[in-house]
Amino acid sequence: MTRHQDQRAILKGMKGAFRLLRDLGLDQGQKRAQRVDVFDCIDRTGAVLMFQPLDKLLGAFMKEGGAAGIILNTERPLGMQRFTAAHELGHWVLGHDPHADDEGILRRGPLADGRVFKRVPPEEREADAFASYFLLPAHLIKTQMEVQGWDVHHLANPDTVYQAALRFGTSYAGAIYGLEREKVIGQDLRRQLLAAKPKDLKLALLDGQPLPNTRRSDVWLLTERDEGAVIEAGRDDLFLLRLNEATGAGYVWTFDELKEAGFAILKDGREPVPEGQLGAPTVRRVLAQAGHPTANTFRLKECRPWDPDDDPQTLTLHYRTATSDEAGQFERQRLERLTVQ
């Protein structure tokens, strides 16, 4: 491929991504701030979605007659599956031939890099560009930056970029490449950020608490800024809630709703108030693990225990488990098939 052909392939993938985001209504209203539910999108385009253990492959796209199918490897972490799913979805909506993908799709830079395009077929470049723009469109970066109050200085910090990646639904590296693509950060900062290891960023939030699963567990740092957020989390993820508490006026956060819904509270404490800052709000710090939650919307309350209905502050979170390690057909399609029969 020439540079010109490469740029055309990237443009085609990008346009395909924008078109599907628009057709599925994902560039509208509250959806603009939410991670793209790529498994749901595959289902809505009419393709069959399957999960199964695959040896070296990450995934594949199949076509027979007018029907399409996408297979994802259960032996890979969710972030990798989501990227593979978007890449295979790209093959499907861009009208490509059936195809299987190995880990090469992860090593290729998502966008223009002179050393890459000479070796990679145009259809792969199109699917790569599709995946990059579909999973992390500019509007998702922009709205999350607004919601969280992040500017470029915050995003020079690997801890912030890791939290951004969780809300984008990408890997840590995927978030960095997306921020560079949208010119939020430059090349130098990209290199610096890529040098940080997600595992270290996770452990730094835990004060010595081990990760339930070193490969799969993520650690979400949740604050008042996450009001109304949809938290699409893995089964082994941990949640560090860091909330301002007006203890001076008698207000305390209660976590009863979380406990009742099956979350385990692993730690509960308050950060020490820095010297000389008497009167500053206390910061409550609670570490929770999901277990098997029985509800998916939680309304946490900060109130005075003796008068709980007097001007309470609330934090509402919507929780969804993102399953990724069970072989078989995508759950919703399996249930639909059962009801049809």
With respect to Zn ion, which residue has the nearer C-beta, 124 or 237?
A: 124
CB < 8 Å & 24+ apart, contacts of 106-110: 106/58, 106/80, 109/177, 110/174, 110/177, 110/178, 110/181
Taking CB atoms, the residue at the shortest distance from Zn ion is 101
Least separation in angstroms between CB 124 and Zn ion: 5
With respect to Zn ion, which residue has the nearer C-beta, 86 or 258?
A: 86
With respect to Zn ion, which residue has the nearer C-beta, 51 or 61?
A: 61
Least separation in angstroms between CB 11 and Zn ion: 18
8 Å CB contact between 207 and 225:
no
Q: In terms of residues, how long is the chain?
A: 341
Determine the 3-state secondary structure of 336 from DSSP: helix
100-to-114, 134, 242, 299 alpha-carbon distances in Å = 24, 20, 43, 44
With respect to Zn ion, which residue has the nearer C-beta, 47 or 127?
A: 127
With respect to Zn ion, which residue has the nearer C-beta, 101 or 232?
A: 101
Least separation in angstroms between CB 104 and Zn ion: 9
- Which range touches Zn ion (CB under 5 A), out of 41-49, 76-84, 94-102, 228-236? 94-102
- Which range touches Zn ion (CB under 5 A), out of 62-70, 99-107, 171-179, 284-292? 99-107
Size of the site for Zn ion (CB under 5 A): 3
What tokens does 323 get?
A: 């399953």
x/- map, 52-91, Zn ion, by CB under 5 A? ----------------------------------------
With respect to Zn ion, which residue has the nearer C-beta, 127 or 166?
A: 127
With respect to Zn ion, which residue has the nearer C-beta, 36 or 131?
A: 131
- Which range touches Zn ion (CB under 5 A), out of 95-103, 179-187, 200-208, 216-224? 95-103
What tokens does 193 get?
A: 């950020």
Residue type, 90: G
With respect to Zn ion, which residue has the nearer C-beta, 124 or 218?
A: 124
34-to-120, 166, 255 alpha-carbon distances in Å = 32, 11, 25
With respect to Zn ion, which residue has the nearer C-beta, 93 or 240?
A: 93
Least separation in angstroms between CB 106 and Zn ion: 11
Taking each helix axis as running N to C, give the angle between helix 78-93 and helix 3-23, from 0 to 180 degrees, rounded to the nearest 10.
Answer: 100
Least separation in angstroms between CB 325 and Zn ion: 23
Starting at the earlier edge strand, list the strands of the sheet with 252-254. 230-233, 313-321, 297-303, 252-254
Least separation in angstroms between CB 66 and Zn ion: 21
Q: How far apart are the first and last CA of the chain?
A: 49
What tokens does 189 get?
A: 């900062």
* Footprint of Zn ion on 103-132 (CB under 5 A): 124, 127
The burial class, CB within 10 Å (0-12 / 13-18 / 19+), for 125 is buried
- Residue 101 interacting with Zn ion (CB under 5 A): yes
Least separation in angstroms between CB 123 and Zn ion: 7
Determine the 3-state secondary structure of 285 from DSSP: strand
| Longest CA pairwise span in the chain (Å) | 72
Least separation in angstroms between CB 174 and Zn ion: 16
Least separation in angstroms between CB 107 and Zn ion: 13
The burial class, CB within 10 Å (0-12 / 13-18 / 19+), for 330 is buried
- Chain residues that interact with Zn ion, rule: CB under 5 A: 101, 124, 127
